[in-house]
Amino acid sequence: MNTPNTYRAGADDDGHFGIYGGRYVAETLMPLILAVERAWNEARNDPDFWTEFHDLMKHYVGRPSPLYLAKRLTEQLGGAKVYFKRDELNHTGAHKINNTIGQILMAKRMGKTRIIAETGAGQHGVATATVCALFGLPCIVYMGATDVERQSPNVFRMNLLGAEVRPVTSGTGTLKDAMNEALRDWVANVDDTFYIIGTVAGPHPYPTMVRDFQCVIGNELRDQMDEAEGRLPDTLVACLGGGSNAMGLFHPFLDDEGVEIIGVEAGGKGLDTDQHCASLTGGKPGVLHGNRTYLLQTDDGQILDGHSISAGLDYPGIGPEHSWLKDSGRVSYVSVTDAEALDAFQLCTRMEGIIPALEPSHALAHVIKIAGTYPKDHLLVMNLCGRGDKDIFAVAKHLGLDMGQTDQG
């Protein structure tokens, strides 16, 4: 593949990143998808839109999120200086709110009066319910029936915020089915409804739009690192579910050749098993949910359910721009296992006094593997994209099991 002049130009007019992306949706939705695209093209060029966005980022979300040098962890790992971009300190506890604020402003702009969303772990559902409360719009969140059980605290949060959580039992009752169900709702309610997608996936313009909202992460980092160290970071690491926190961190640095960029997928019980959720490192290109991208699937093109200890990484696809960045070689993609993520979760908690979500614990597990291989002046930044309060029950269960058995990890 030829090296492009810039890695930041996509998507093209038809929503493609190389062969990835696109608009693979039913005709009923196409006019609406095109309307979202037109509205987005106007909004992105409207300074007032961004003024409102950044005002909410500052006063409601609490941005900028700090750039924090994890001193004890750095010493322990004995190599690169490890920085955390603290997006877990955002209102609602994850990066998801950056996107939902942006999209609720889009819904408002388009005069839509009803909001739908899909959610896996419940973080995007909570972030959507939050902005719907803020803007006084009714909110319906589709959530796989199994996730409704696994993530009951987040279900209650959404209910408190006034959202209706609809458990999805169709298909396999997981995140992918929640997304199918949200699309089915949208097809039936095209006139008044805006679909707030939770990651950099879906039909064009969603991957681009969500990316541009999440880029607040990487843009802040550029300034913060310049202030802290007077230069660019050397290595960026982030976890990937659909890929939104990673894209937000990576995108502003894609054209800075010297910056090494690594995305970390959920390896579950290992890529040699069928219990993982590593679409890029363990899947192949296909078409689902409006875009072409790497997918977990059978030889017959049927979509498989992923497995991860972290419900937020449990999506069998990945944003199409990541697929393109993988094929072009600009970003490296790796995976870590459930067990490695659990170890990282505990290390971070004990050494830094920060309980991370299980999703960024995957990124941290990779940081733990590589930090020692770099010199001491190497600047490594990991996106700490969510806090772990939501995960303490899941972790307790796993640790409880560990205690009952002799050797784990």
Ligand X SMILES: Cc1ncc(COP(=O)(O)O)c(C=O)c1O
Phi, psi for 164 (deg, rounded to 5) = -100, 125
Which residue among 176, 211, 366, 390 contacts another protein (CB under 8 A)? 176
Query: Which does residue 385 bind out of ligand X, another protein, none, counting CB within 5 to 8 angstroms by kind?
Result: ligand X
Minimum distance of ligand X from residue 346's CB (angstroms): 17
> Is the Cβ of residue 294 or residue 374 nearer to another protein in the bound state?
294
Residue with CB nearest ligand X?
386
Please tell me the distance from the alpha carbon of residue 76 to that of residue 368, in angstroms, as a whole number. 9
**Is the backbone peptide bond immediately before 205 cis, with ω within 30 degrees of 0?**
yes
Query: Which does residue 313 bind out of another protein, ligand X, none, counting CB within 5 to 8 angstroms by kind?
Result: ligand X
Phi, psi for 320 (deg, rounded to 5) = -65, -30
Point out which residues bind ligand X (CB under 6 A).
94, 96, 120-121, 123-124, 199, 239-246, 312-313, 357, 359-360, 385-386
Query: Which does residue 183 bind out of another protein, ligand X, none, counting CB within 5 to 8 angstroms by kind?
Result: another protein
3-state DSSP assignment of residue 356: strand
Q: Are 223 and 252 in contact (CB under 8 A)?
A: no
Is residue 171 within the footprint of another protein (CB under 8 A)?
Answer: yes
Is residue 112 within the footprint of another protein (CB under 8 A)?
Answer: no
* Residue given tokens 């949706």 in the structure block: 25
> Is the Cβ of residue 105 or residue 117 nearer to another protein in the bound state?
117
Is residue 31 within the footprint of another protein (CB under 8 A)?
Answer: yes
Minimum distance of another protein from residue 251's CB (angstroms): 25
> Is the Cβ of residue 295 or residue 341 nearer to another protein in the bound state?
295
Beta-carbon contacts of 403 under 8 Å, excluding residues fewer than 6 positions away, are: none
Minimum distance of ligand X from residue 96's CB (angstroms): 6
Is residue 26 within the footprint of another protein (CB under 8 A)?
Answer: yes
> Is the Cβ of residue 174 or residue 374 nearer to ligand X in the bound state?
174
CB-side neighbour CA atoms (13 Å) of 251:
28
Render the burial of 274-295: b for 16+ CB within 10 Å, e for the rest.
ebbbbbbbbbeebebbbbbbbb
Which residue among 2, 5, 302, 406 contacts another protein (CB under 8 A)? 302
Is 396 exposed, middle or buried, given 0-12, 13-18 or 19+ CB atoms closer than 10 A? exposed
Is residue 303 within the footprint of another protein (CB under 8 A)?
Answer: yes
Query: Which does residue 171 bind out of another protein, ligand X, none, counting CB within 5 to 8 angstroms by kind?
Result: another protein
Q: Are 314 and 239 in contact (CB under 8 A)?
A: no
Phi, psi for 233 (deg, rounded to 5) = -70, 165
Is residue 180 within the footprint of another protein (CB under 8 A)?
Answer: yes
67-69 vs 81-85, strand pairing mode:
antiparallel
Is residue 242 within the footprint of another protein (CB under 8 A)?
Answer: no
> Is the Cβ of residue 243 or residue 316 nearer to ligand X in the bound state?
243
> Is the Cβ of residue 301 or residue 409 nearer to another protein in the bound state?
301
Count of beta carbons in the 10 Å neighbourhood of residue 53 = 18
Please tell me the distance from the alpha carbon of residue 313 to that of residue 266, in angstroms, as a whole number. 6
Q: Are 229 and 204 in contact (CB under 8 A)?
A: no
Contact positions with another protein (CB under 8 A) in 32-91? 32
Question: Of 177-185, 228-236, 318-326, 330-338, which part binds another protein (CB under 8 A)?
Answer: 177-185
Question: Of 93-101, 183-191, 234-242, 329-337, which part binds another protein (CB under 8 A)?
Answer: 183-191
* Residue given tokens 């890929």 in the structure block: 243
Angle between helices 96-109 and 30-44 (to 10 degrees): 100
Span between the terminal Cα atoms of the chain, in Å: 39
Here's the x/- map for another protein, 258-297, by CB under 8 A: it reads as ----------------------------xxxxx----x-x
Please tell me the distance from the alpha carbon of residue 319 to that of residue 210, in angstroms, as a whole number. 10
The residues of the shown chain that bind another protein, judged by CB under 8 A, are 14, 22-32, 170-171, 176-177, 180, 183-184, 187-190, 286-290, 295, 297, 299-303
